[in-house]
Every structure is written in structure tokens, then in C-alpha cells.
Amino acid sequence: MSNDTEVDMKDVELNEVEQEKQPMTEGEAGNNYAISPVSEKNGIVNVKIPEEESKFTGLSKEELMRVAGTPGWVKVRWALLILFWLGWLGMLAGAIAIIIQAPRCKPLPEMNWWNYGPLYQIGDVNSFTKSSDLKGVADKLQTIDELKMKGLIIGPIHVSSADDPEELKLTEISKEAGDLTQFQELIKAAHKRGISVVLDLTPNYKGKEPWFADAVSTVVKLEPALVHWLKEGVDGFLFYDVEKVSTAAPPTWKDVEDLIHEHNETESVGKSKKVLIGVTEKSSPDEIIAVLNKTGVDLLLTGALRSQSTLDVAHTVDRLYSTYNQTRLAWNIGGRISGHLASLVGLAKVKLSQLLLHTLPGTPVFNYGDEIGLEDEEKDKNPTMVWDDSENVTKRTDEFATYRKFFKTMSEKRSKERSLQHGEYIPLFNSTSAMAYVRSWDQNERYLIALNWHSTEAVTLQLKHAEIPEYATVVFSTSDDKDVDKVLNLAQLEVKPEQGIMLKFPYNP
């Protein structure tokens, strides 16, 4: 009996197990579950639970309106609204306070195209390029543009015979220089690069004096010539010994001056303005001021920086800067008649002079080749220009490249910095052989320039001024590139013989 009972119980258990292994039908599973076929492997049963069919849909509009109208929510809304407007008004007040307290930018001075960078003088076209004509000048415009030149002073290129006024033809280009088509192409190519073209129209440039003996008759011929070249797109004119014709025949020269200035009044201010440049050998500040007043020229090139005394140079700069707006100031050392920079100051002081010209308040003017330290040949103020691809490359090629690199770097710096373009000029130190000054503009970075012309002795400058800090960082050094980025004490600033240093320091409100 017991055995039969045990057998029956085992059968029941087996049947129950077999039933559990069978999949449930839809009816058996009910509405809540769907059972997938059973996998008997490892005794695992996979059960798939369907997603909830009922989802929360939120409160209805009527329910929301009932809740929103309760006193508690009304108070919360008003509190949030008040906080929002208080925050907004606070931010507005803060912005206004920042604007009021922040230092205002100084308005930029009105400037002309000739105030934004150096001018490059090519007196003898034949000596400048291989082709010895105006086309050759046009071919070198990219190189000139790399030096950040804003204008070219070309010529004279008109037909003239030494001391013979009868042969003067101010509206015709001499065969030695090229032809009108080449000149037109030069102007067109220069303007595309943002370079203006100024024509040296000094009549008797081949003679002993820049003007013929009968200066009055010559000046009378100028007016139609100016009109002719203005129509060709020339951006200005230059005349040597301008004070001689202005005093010899004031009414006639006044017509020339009025012609240029009236043309500017009819044109829009900016690139289209025409410049009238004069050249004089006068060097004292009183003489320079007198010539500027008599001639009415926009820029006057002088012999002021050729003085052997640094005190004289510093005094002239101070006097002219305090008398005129710096947009009328121009600085040069060499020129078509006076010669090249390297021959006038010596090779050791070429970089020193380049630094001076680029950083004085006003327009620097360079003779062709000044950027590479080109020297005059014996009794020839128009030596052949040396190019990297020239046949006349000498052992000085590396030296030429060094001068040009420094010149290019200085010119690029001047073109970018407002303090150097039109910043205030603050003299700090003057002696017989050294000078130092600061160029600053509004909230821009300041630049301190220290120059020592002495050939053998160093100078220690004790620079103390309300405008300068205790220390400044070296930007350029004419003697050693290793000095760049050094921080120097301005209270004991040592400048080596024949060295120039430019340092920078930030604006400190």
C-alpha cells in the first residue's frame, strides 16, 4: 500500500512539473501577462511584461485653473514676479555703473593717408631696377609693399635740360625714365596695393639749382602741369627749395597751393586727398616754422635730423611738436640731393636712425636703399640699388638682409600700434649724445625709445616720470636680438654705444 502511494505521489509531481513546462494559453494567462514559449535550457523561463497601457496625462485645464487660483499659488507668482524685476533692474544698474566708471576711449585724430606710414623716395628711376624705367619700379611694388610704405615719391621724370628753361616740359616723361603708359600702369598697380604716388616736379632738377633763374615764369607753368598729372591719378607733388619760389613770387605760388587744397575740398576726405610736400635745407626750428607758414605745404622735409648734436635734434622735435599738429610733421635724414642714410650717419648707426625715424611723431621719409644700408658711390648720390637677385651682389649681402629685416619689423610695428602712429610724444631725457622719449595713446600699450649716438661710451639713463613704471620689456634692440623680451629697470637703463632700444609697458589707469 505504501509503495503504491509513493508511486502515485511521484506521478502527480511529474504531471505538475510537465504542466508548468507547458506554455500558458492566452486565456490562461489572463489579460495581464503574455507568456513566451518556455525555453527548457537551464530551467530558465522568459516572461515578457507588456508596457503599461495607461499613461499619466496631467491635470486638465479646469483643474489647473482651480489650483492656480488658490491664495498660496497667487502669493508665489507675485513673489517670483517681484524677484524677476528686481534682478533685472539690478543688472541694468550694474551695467550703467560699469559704463560710467569705465574710462572712455579718446577719439582718434583726423589723419591723412600720408600719416599712416613711411614714404619711399625714388629719385633716379634708372638706378632703382634692372630695367631702368618706370616698369621696373612697378615690378618691385610687392617688395615696397612688404616694407609697409604708404606712398612713393617718384622722380623727377619730366623732360628738362640743365639750366635751360626753354627745354622744360613738365607734362612729358623723359625717355630715360620710360613713357606715359608705364607711368599709368605704375599708378594703377600702386593704388591696388594701397600705395599712393607722389610726383617730384622740381623743374630744374638737372641743373645747379632746383629752380631756373626766372622762377616766376617757371611757377606760372606749374598750374597746367599740376592739373594734367592730377587727371592721371597722381596723389601729390614734391618741390625742392620750396621757400625760394614762395618768397620770390608769393601770389603765383599761392595759386599752386590753392589748387591742391581746393582739389582736396572738392574730394571726400581720406585716400583721395592730395599732398603738397616741400623740401628745404633749413634745420633750426625757427627756420622750419617760417618755411611751413610761408609755403603752406602739408609736409616739409628738412635737414633737422642731420645735426651732430642730439640736444639740437631733441630741441627741434620738441619745438615742432608743440607748434604743429603732428599730421604736418615729416622726418628724413637722406634724400635725392642729400644722399643716402648710411653715407650720412655711418653704417653702425643705420638701425639707430631707422628706429628714430619710425618712432618720432609724424611721417618718416626714406630714400630708396635706406632700408638695406645702401651707401652713395663717390660723387654719386644715386647708386645702383642692390636686390637679392641682382648681378652686383657683394659680400655685404648678409648685412643688407640684416638691415632690411630690422627695417621691416620696425615698419610693421609702427603700422599696427596707435601709440606709434599718432600717440603723444613725451620727452624724458636729452644730452649731447643720447635722448629718450615715450609714445603713448589713450589706453593702448606705451613705447619708450632710448637712443645713444656716442661711438665709444655707454650711457645710463635715470628715467623717472609719472607716465612710466619702474620696469619695461624690450621690444627691439639695434645691437643684440638676445635683449628682446628682457625686463629692464628704467631707473638705471644702460644704453650701449651706438645702440637704440625700444621698450614697452602697459597702460596703467
Same domain, 461 and 497: yes
What is the model's pLDDT at position 34?
Answer: 44
* CATH code (residue 253): 3.20.20.80
What is the model's pLDDT at position 7?
Answer: 46
Question: Is residue 77 assigned to a domain?
Answer: yes
Say if CB 239 and CB 202 are below 8 A apart: yes
Same domain, 418 and 431: no
142-177 per-position pLDDT tens digit: 999 999 999 999 999 999 999 999 999 999 999 999
Residues 6+ away with beta carbon under 8 Å from 450: 429, 434, 435, 436, 461, 463, 493, 495, 500, 501, 503
Say if CB 449 and CB 360 are below 8 A apart: no
Residue 431 C-alpha cell reads as 644730452
Same domain, 463 and 390: no
Same domain, 90 and 207: no
Question: Is residue 310 assigned to a domain?
Answer: yes
Question: Is residue 25 assigned to a domain?
Answer: yes
What is the model's pLDDT at position 317?
Answer: 96
Same domain, 206 and 275: yes
Question: Is residue 107 assigned to a domain?
Answer: no
> Higher confidence at residue 64 or residue 251?
64
Same domain, 193 and 254: yes
Instruction: Work out the percent of the chain whose per-residue pLDDT is above 90.
Output: 62
299 forms beta bridges with 277
Report helix, strand and coil shares of the chain as percent, to nearest 5.
Answer: 45, 20, 35
Is the bond leading into 210 cis (omega within 30 degrees of zero)? no
Weakest mean pLDDT among 25-39, 385-399, 482-496: 25-39
Same domain, 350 and 250: yes
- What's the domain count of the chain? 4
Same domain, 310 and 431: no
Q: Where are the alpha helices (DSSP H) in 51-196?
A: 61-68, 71-101, 125-128, 134-139, 141-146, 180-192
Sheet containing 236-240: order of strands: 299-301, 275-279, 236-240, 196-200, 151-154, 119-122, 363-367, 330-331
In the predicted model, is pLDDT for residue 502 greater than 70?
A: yes
| pLDDT tier, 65 (very low <50, low <70, confident <90, very high otherwise) | confident
Same domain, 236 and 380: yes
Same domain, 364 and 480: no
Question: Is residue 109 assigned to a domain?
Answer: no
Same domain, 356 and 306: yes
Question: Is residue 110 assigned to a domain?
Answer: no
Beta strand 493-495 pairing with 459-461: antiparallel
Same domain, 293 and 351: yes
Closest listed residue to residue 305, CA positions, set 277, 282, 276: 282
CA–CA dist 371, 455 (Å, integer): 22
275-322 per-position pLDDT tens digit: 999 999 999 999 999 999 999 999 999 999 998 899 999 999 999 999
226-285 per-position pLDDT tens digit: 999 999 999 999 999 998 887 655 567 888 888 888 877 666 544 578 999 999 999 999
Question: Is residue 54 assigned to a domain?
Answer: no
Range of the domain at 366: 115-422
Say if CB 106 and CB 97 are below 8 A apart: no
What is the model's pLDDT at position 188?
Answer: 97
Question: Is residue 65 assigned to a domain?
Answer: yes
